[in-house]
Structure 1
Amino acid sequence: MTDVDILKEVGFDRAPHGIAVKKVSELMDMTGKRTIVTGAGGPGLGRAIAHRLAGLGATVVLADRNLDGAKGAASEITERWGTKTFAVECDVTDWDDAHRFIANSNDLMGGIDVLVNNVGAGEMRAFKDQDRAGIDNTIALGFVDTVYCSRAVLDYMIPQKSGHIINIAAGAGRSLSPRGAVYGAAKAGVIQFTRNLAYEVGKLGVRVNGVSPGIMLHAELREVLANHSTEWDYKWRMDRIDLDRVSIPEEVANVVAFVASDAGSYLSGVTINADGGVAAMG
Structure 2
Amino acid sequence: MADVDVLKEVGFDRAPHGIADLRVTELMDLSGKGAVVTGAGGPGLGRAIAHRLAGLGATVIVADRNLEGAEAAAAEVREKWGAEAVAVNCDVTDWDDAHRFIAESAEILGGIDLLVNNVGAGEMRPFIDQDRSAIDSTIALGFIDTVYCSRAVLDHMIPRGSGHIINIAAGAGRSLSPRGAVYGAAKAGVIHFTRNLAYEVGKLGVRVNGVSPGIMLHAGLREVLADNSTEWDYKWRMERIDLDRVSIPEEVANVVAFLASDAASYLSGVTINADGGVAAMG
User: Residues 204-235 of structure 1, C-alpha deviation per residue, up to 9 Å, x if partnerless?
Assistant: 00000000000001122101111156411000
For residues 101 and 93 of structure 2, what CA distance do their matches in structure 1 show? 12
Task: Determine if contact 2:52/2:257 at 8 Å carries over to the other structure.
Answer: yes
RMSD, aligned α-carbons: 0.8
Question: What is the correspondence of 1:188-207 to structure 2 with a 5 Å cutoff?
Answer: 188-207=188-207
Question: What is the correspondence of 1:239-278 to structure 2 with a 5 Å cutoff?
Answer: 239-278=239-278
For residues 17 and 166 of structure 1, what CA distance do their matches in structure 2 show? 24
Residues 1:144 and 2:151 are matched in the alignment? no
For residues 196 and 176 of structure 1, what CA distance do their matches in structure 2 show? 23
Q: Which residue of 2 aligns with 1:70?
A: 70
For residues 220 and 76 of structure 1, what CA distance do their matches in structure 2 show? 19
TM superposition score normalised by structure 2: 0.99
Superposed displacement of residue 31, structure 1? 0.2
For residues 71 and 113 of structure 1, what CA distance do their matches in structure 2 show? 22
For residues 73 and 32 of structure 2, what CA distance do their matches in structure 1 show? 20
Residues 1:129 and 2:129 are matched in the alignment? yes
For residues 85 and 32 of structure 1, what CA distance do their matches in structure 2 show? 13
User: Residues 237-270 of structure 1, C-alpha deviation per residue, up to 9 Å, x if partnerless?
Assistant: 0000000000000000000000001010000000
Aligned residues: 282
Counterpart AA for 1:100: R
User: Residues 107-130 of structure 1, C-alpha deviation per residue, up to 9 Å, x if partnerless?
Assistant: 011000000000000000000000
Superposed displacement of residue 275, structure 1? 0.2
TM superposition score normalised by structure 1: 0.99
For residues 135 and 40 of structure 1, what CA distance do their matches in structure 2 show? 23
For residues 167 and 273 of structure 1, what CA distance do their matches in structure 2 show? 12
Task: Determine if contact 2:224/2:230 at 8 Å carries over to the other structure.
Answer: no
Counterpart AA for 1:173: G
Q: Following superposition, which runs of at least 4 residues in structure 1 exceed 6 angstroms of deviation?
A: none
Q: Which residue of 1 aligns with 2:54?
A: 54
Question: What is the correspondence of 1:170-189 to structure 2 with a 5 Å cutoff?
Answer: 170-189=170-189
User: Residues 31-58 of structure 1, C-alpha deviation per residue, up to 9 Å, x if partnerless?
Assistant: 0000000000000000000000000000
Counterpart AA for 1:121: A
Percent identity at matched positions? 83
Q: Which residue of 2 aligns with 1:221?
A: 221
Counterpart AA for 1:199: Y
Q: 1:236 to 1:205 in 2, by over 3 A?
A: same
